[in-house]
A and B are shown apart, each in its own frame.
Chain A
Amino acid sequence: GAVVSQHPSWVICKSGTSVKIECRSLDFQATTMFWYRQFPKQSLMLMATSNEGSKATYEQGVEKDKFLINHASLTLSTLTVTSAHPEDSSFYICSARSRSDTDTQYFGPGTRLTVL
């Protein structure tokens, strides 16, 4: 149980285009989902918190207009990187917290984004 998927697992795009990453909780309802960013050989940094049906809360320094987050249902959150640039290339990981077990976050496998 408590499986989180991400799609796509990797994506390559041209500079200036937008990319959407999906995060799904497969066997539980996720009241809250989190988005993290991980640069090569570095730690995970929290980007934003999204609660189902409400606007996402962004961490300081994260551009909300560049990283659009939508949490339209209890099983799906999306991260859209708008007008992507090479510096947005990174590993993006989502996690989800269930209604029944609010103390633990379950992580997706991550999405590697490369912007050319």
Chain B
Amino acid sequence: AQTVTQSQPEMSVQEAETVTLSCTYDTSESNYYLFWYKQPPSRQMILVIRQEAYKQQNATENRFSVNFQKAAKSFSLKISDSQLGDTAMYFCAFMKWGIGGADGLTFGKGTHLIIQP
């Protein structure tokens, strides 16, 4: 079984600042994906970014980028030029990939990110 750990229950930064959310995971699997999901007050889960474990290059999506350290089993999310709309719960998630396809997601406990005006 795999575990996902987010050690920061809450973070608060000023608008336009850069913030990094931490995530570590533990697994014995070799084929897997890692995700960051955002859950605003509406509770709709929104995919922020994903990383395939076999790729060495860190994924980026506009203001969002990850620092994927496979050996250390670390997967942090960096948000640049933070905006008020970034305020939300952020979940780090692990997905095993096998012959039958992808499994369900294992989520961390989440980090509540607050962007202050």
Contact = CB atoms under 8 A, between A and B. Distances in A.
Interface size class of A (residues with CB under 8 A): 20 to 34
Contacts of B105: 34, 36, 44, 46, 95, 105
Interface string B89-104: 0010001010001111
Interface residues of B, number: 23
B106 A91 contact: no
A61 to B, nearest CB: 12
Name the prevailing secondary structure of the B interface residues.
strand
Interface in B15-32: none
Contacts of B101: 31-32, 97, 102
B33 interface: yes
A49 interface: yes
Interface of B: 33, 37, 42-47, 50, 52, 91, 95, 97, 101-110
